[in-house]
Amino acid sequence: MSTSINQTSLDNGLTVIHQEMPWLSSVSFTILLPYGASHDPKGYEGATSVLHDWLFRGANGLSSKEISNSLDSLGTRRGGGTGKEASTFSGSCLLSSFDESLKLFAMSLIKPNLDNSEFNSARLLAEQELESLQDSPSQLLFKQLSKEYFGSSHRNSSYGTAQGLSNLSAEFLKELAKKHLSPKGAILAVAGGIKNNDLIETVRKYFSDWQGSEAINNELRLNPVKQSHLIQESSQVHIALAYPAVSAKEKGWYENALAISVLSGGMGARLFSEVREKRGLVYSVSAFSRVLKNHGYTMAYAGTTPEKADETIEVLTNELRNISNGVNQNELERARIGLLSQMVMQAESTGSKASTLANDYYLLARNRSPEEIKTALNEISLEQLNDFLSSYKPEFRILSLGPKEIKKVNL
């Protein structure tokens, strides 16, 4: 039950992507702005995520609470957050509440109050969240791994740093807001029971006055391979690693997606089967893709008790490396149907549909239809996939966290 994807560009630069799901009375939307933690100025790490919070603390003379109460009355669920390169603001509501909800979101982006007292609260909350991270070893580990992996400002995490947060001021963030809050490069993706004409009319009503400057692209650099360990009292040793893969625009994108699925798609995939099912080394083990505009990378995680850590890292890295020796036909078929049915299942929820539409457009500057993805995946032969994999040599940046150092592996 797939409908076509509509694309409209407003004069001010905002791109609207829409897919109708006529059988639903709900609508979801995602507004993606192309700035994220990697745009935090040096010494002000955490700036974009404090700004993200601050924006929804009042607009157009309405207080933070008034905005929130209005959205609650409309029954609008809201979400979003800051990533490395992009920030999102998302909402889901019934069709009858869509117009009002979008108006409140537009207001918050175009005419935020940016009150000083609300800035203080937003910063304090960010500091609390950063402190809280210390009690969550696996999340802390991924934040630190980013710093090991990226040489450029992409190393920044949305949590920021204690120093960065304390250096922030309301004036500083207002300047940053002027630079980044702009329809240029911004994407509004909408999925659900709304017609394209009605949508465009609503969007024009609330977003046409928005003006701003061009989006800024950041240079991206990686650090050399490295393995390190953080000593922390914990029950498990948490192991995470990252290595470069394929970006959305590069050749090999679908082959890479299939490879990750062979490694970590279902419970029959290699990592789950080798690390957990056959050896009982872990409860949790997985590999997953991360994509930035011009860079794709793979991350993997395993958590195990200290006495099994050496064997776990050995088996994990061997499995990730072994895939360059090729996969078999059955593995390819499982990976293929896994990806295809994921796609259909996600497309049945307006929320995940809207977020996929926004991301796809952000990465590719166009949207792929389900048919295009299906054809591309179906066309890949075993030979073609194994050809791609034979040139695949993961270069690991490994970081572990736990009570004692673990075995060093080849990087």
Restricting to residues 293-352, name those near another protein by CB under 8 A.
303-305, 330, 333-334, 337-342, 344-345, 348-351
Binds another protein by CB under 8 A, chosen from 82, 97, 146, 182: 97
Residue 123 interacts with another protein (CB under 8 A): yes or no: yes
Smallest distance, Å, CB 103 to another protein? 17
Closer Cβ to another protein, 339 or 363, answer by number: 339
Smallest distance, Å, CB 340 to another protein? 6
> What is the footprint of another protein within residues 187-206 (CB under 8 A)?
none
Binds another protein by CB under 8 A, chosen from 198, 209, 214, 277: 277
Helix (H, G, I), strand (E, B) or coil at 135: coil
Binding-site size for another protein (CB under 8 A) equals 75
Question: What span, in angstroms and rounded, lies between the C-alpha atoms of 283 and 266?
Answer: 14
Smallest distance, Å, CB 357 to another protein? 16
Residue 280 interacts with another protein (CB under 8 A): yes or no: yes
Residue 49 backbone zone (phi > 0: left; psi -120 to 50: alpha; other: beta): alpha
Smallest distance, Å, CB 233 to another protein? 4
Residue 127 interacts with another protein (CB under 8 A): yes or no: yes
Smallest distance, Å, CB 139 to another protein? 10
Residue count of the chain: 411
Closer Cβ to another protein, 150 or 159, answer by number: 159
Question: What span, in angstroms and rounded, lies between the C-alpha atoms of 291 and 380?
Answer: 21
> What is the footprint of another protein within residues 229-268 (CB under 8 A)?
232-236, 238, 265-268
| Structure token pair of residue 242 | 């990252």
Helix (H, G, I), strand (E, B) or coil at 246: coil
Question: What span, in angstroms and rounded, lies between the C-alpha atoms of 339 and 204?
Answer: 36
Closer Cβ to another protein, 304 or 355, answer by number: 304
Question: What span, in angstroms and rounded, lies between the C-alpha atoms of 15 and 18?
Answer: 10
Contacts of 280 (CB under 8 A, 6+ apart): none
Smallest distance, Å, CB 220 to another protein? 31
Which stretches of 168-274 are DSSP H helices? 170-180, 196-207, 253-264, 270-271
Closer Cβ to another protein, 145 or 222, answer by number: 145
Binds another protein by CB under 8 A, chosen from 4, 43, 65, 364: 65
Residue 72 interacts with another protein (CB under 8 A): yes or no: yes
DSSP letter string, 350-389: HHHHHHHHHHHHHHHSS---HHHHHHHHHH--HHHHHHHH
Q: Are the C-beta atoms of 118 and 383 separated by less than 8 Å? A: no
| Eight-state DSSP code of residue 150 | B
The residue written with tokens 């796809």 in the block is 360
* Crossing angle of the two packed helices 47-55 and 170-180, in degrees rounded to 10: 80
- What is the sign of the dihedral through the CA atoms of 124, 129, 134 and 139? negative
The interface region with another protein, picked from 9-17, 21-29, 144-152, 391-399 by CB under 8 A, is 21-29
Rounded alpha-carbon distances, angstroms, from residue 270 to 153, 255, 277, 314, 316: 33, 16, 10, 14, 10
| Structure token pair of residue 56 | 């929804």
Smallest distance, Å, CB 6 to another protein? 20
Residue 390 interacts with another protein (CB under 8 A): yes or no: no
Residue 68 interacts with another protein (CB under 8 A): yes or no: yes
Tell me the residue type at 65.
Answer: K
Residue 219 interacts with another protein (CB under 8 A): yes or no: no
| Structure token pair of residue 243 | 């290595």
> What is the footprint of another protein within residues 157-186 (CB under 8 A)?
none
The interface region with another protein, picked from 39-47, 121-129, 195-203, 242-250 by CB under 8 A, is 121-129
Q: How many other C-beta atoms lie within 10 A of the C-beta of residue 43?
A: 11
Smallest distance, Å, CB 251 to another protein? 25
Residue 283 interacts with another protein (CB under 8 A): yes or no: yes
The interface region with another protein, picked from 86-94, 172-180, 220-228, 381-389 by CB under 8 A, is 86-94
Smallest distance, Å, CB 100 to another protein? 12
Binds another protein by CB under 8 A, chosen from 4, 9, 116, 132: 132
Smallest distance, Å, CB 134 to another protein? 4
